[in-house]
Amino acid sequence: MTAPIRKAVFPVAGLGTRFLPATKAMPKEMLTVVDKPVIQHVVDEARLAGIEEFIFVTGPNKHIIEEHFKPQAGLEQVLKDSGKLDELNVLQAGQLAPESVKFTLQEKPLGLGHAVWCARELVGDEPFALLLPDVLVQSSGKMCLAQLIEVYGQAGGNVIAVEEVPEENAHQYGVVDIERSNADSHPIRGMVEKPSPGTAPSNLIIMGRYLLQPEIFKILDAKERGAGGEIQITDAMKKLLESQTFTAVEYDGRSFDCGSKIGFQMANTAFALQREDLRDELIVELQKLI
């Protein structure tokens, strides 16, 4: 029987330099997609998948993220008194119970692997989910993390979401080598972080949703540097693959890289088009622009 996935780690310590000056005083994770911060979308995905404890790996000047998920009694009272009950419901729906939220500090930006390592004491000795806050996933049905947890219940081990990219772009990402099956999930034989152009073992990239066993922390303890001189989570997963199984899931949905300006704009458009209260008017306005 597999241990349940109760905890999720969100690495939110990045500086967001690609979005300056917007991120000079505001964390990039608080930039809004339609009317919710990016991090709220990702947390909602985790909550819908059954996550009970939310662990944020933060950096300096990230206190706004902590404040966002706290109840704000004064604001709630103002909304009540003014009869804005719809807005009050939306506000309360985005809050997390204080006992379910934990924060830990990544003092230096040493890579994703290091950010995960910083959460080791809060995660403890149990499997956990890792969600990159730069990546939003849109799905018409079950969300990406919920799909991974379903596969995990059958396969156990470690499970990661993958998606196809054009072969000429594969060198920009972490790439998996799989044993192709007839289903949407496949055993992983190997991984490589940002392979040299033309050497990638496939065009399936690791896209920002992971279920990992706690033994990953022992590997990350070594703090070995990889691509870009950073501590890479892909390198740690490669070592863990020597003793544990990994399954790649070609999830049902579409991802948006909100760490890039184009990806961020596309996410805003796609998520707005999914909203009944915005879709028709937005289509009209987009047609005018085009």
Residue 282: what pLDDT?
Answer: 95
Residue 163: what pLDDT?
Answer: 92
What ranges in 1-96 are assigned the alpha helix state H?
Answer: 38-48, 63-68, 73-81, 85-93
Spatial distance between the Cα atoms of 59 and 103, rounded to a whole number of angstroms = 10
Residue 126: what pLDDT?
Answer: 96
Residue 110: what pLDDT?
Answer: 83
Indicate the domain borders of the chain.
7-289
Say which CATH architecture domain 7-289 belongs to. Alpha-Beta Complex (3.90)
Spatial distance between the Cα atoms of 148 and 150, rounded to a whole number of angstroms = 5
Residues 175-183: contacts with CB within 8 Å, 24+ apart? 175/200, 175/201, 175/202, 175/203, 175/204, 175/205, 175/206, 176/201, 176/202, 176/204, 176/205, 176/206, 176/248, 177/201, 177/202, 178/202, 178/204, 178/248
Side-chain-side CA neighbours of 101 within 13 Å: the count stands at 15
Residue 24: what pLDDT?
Answer: 85
Residue 185: what pLDDT?
Answer: 86
Give average pLDDT by consecutive 10-residue segment, the chain, 290 residues: 92 86 87 94 95 93 82 84 85 83 88 93 96 92 94 94 88 85 85 84 90 96 76 90 94 93 95 94 94
